[in-house]
Structure 1
Amino acid sequence: MDDVADFIRALVTVYTIVIIAYILSQMFFSFGGRIPYSRTSNAVLGFLRDVCEPYLSVFRRFIPPIGPLDLSPMVAIIVLQVVGNVVASAIESS
């Protein structure tokens, strides 16, 4: 059971890193850092968008942006960490 709990913790950590990478890439590309017609940057952005947007869209429905700041990714990461730790602890204790 400890291996399953460790796997869940690792999965939560990797998904958190992917969300942070998505946020940073969105910020970088919004400031004009994108190379035009680059397949690599389009592939990276497409992958990150496809992986992160379904989860983040749940929080964006309830938390509107405050001016240029979008606080929904921070709330999404906090919820992901809390739920991941609760599930992993529940698996370890059983």
Structure 2
Amino acid sequence: MTSLFQILMLILDVAQFIIIAHIIMSWLINFQVLNLRQPLVAQLWDGLNRLLEPLYSRVRAVLPNMGGLDLAPLVVLLAIIALRIVLTNNAAAFL
């Protein structure tokens, strides 16, 4: 059962890394450090959007309209961190 706990924590680590990479990449695109006309950047951006948009759209449906501010990545990231805390505090159940 310890291996199940470790696998769940690994999945949450990967998800957290992907969301943080998506947030940083969106900032770099908005500040014109990265250009979407470059094929590699466009492919990475499209892949991250396809991967995360189903998650973000469910959160956006619940959140109120904030104008141009998108809080969906922050909410999903906080949910992942909260899930990690819950799993860590209940690690004894996996032993």
Q: TM-score, normalised by structure 2?
A: 0.78
Match of 2:69 in 1: 69
Match of 2:5 in 1: 5
Q: Tell me by how many angstroms 1:86 deviates.
A: 3.7
Aligned-pair CA distance for 1:44? 0.9
Root mean square deviation, CA, Å: 2.3
* Partner-residue secondary structure (3-state), 1:35: coil
Is there any run of 5+ residues in structure 1 with no aligned partner, and where?
none
Q: 1:41 and 2:41 equivalent? A: yes
Would the aligned equivalents of 2:36 and 2:42 in 1 still touch at CA under 8 Å? no
Unpaired stretches in structure 2, ≥5 consecutive residues:
none
Instruction: Report the Cα offset of residue 22 of structure 1.
Output: 0.6
Instruction: Determine the C-alpha separation between the residues in 2 that align with 1:3 and 1:14.
Output: 16
Whether contact under 8 Å (2:60, 2:72) holds in the other structure is yes
Structure with the greater relative contact order (CA < 8 A, sep ≥ 6): 1 or 2?
1
| Aligned positions, number | 94
1: CA distance, partners of 2:48 / 2:60: 17
Counterpart residue number, 1:51: 51
The answer as to whether partners of 1:56 and 1:73 remain within 8 angstroms in 2 is: yes
Deviation at 1:92, TM superposition (A): 5.1
TM-score relative to the length of structure 1: 0.79
1:80 paired residue number: 80
Q: What one-letter code is carried by the residue in structure 1 that aligns with 2:27? A: M
Identity %: 21
Structure 1 contact 59–75 (Cα < 8 Å) conserved: yes
Amino acid at match of 2:45: L
- Give the 3 Å change call, closer, same or farther, for CA 19–65 of structure 1 in structure 2: farther
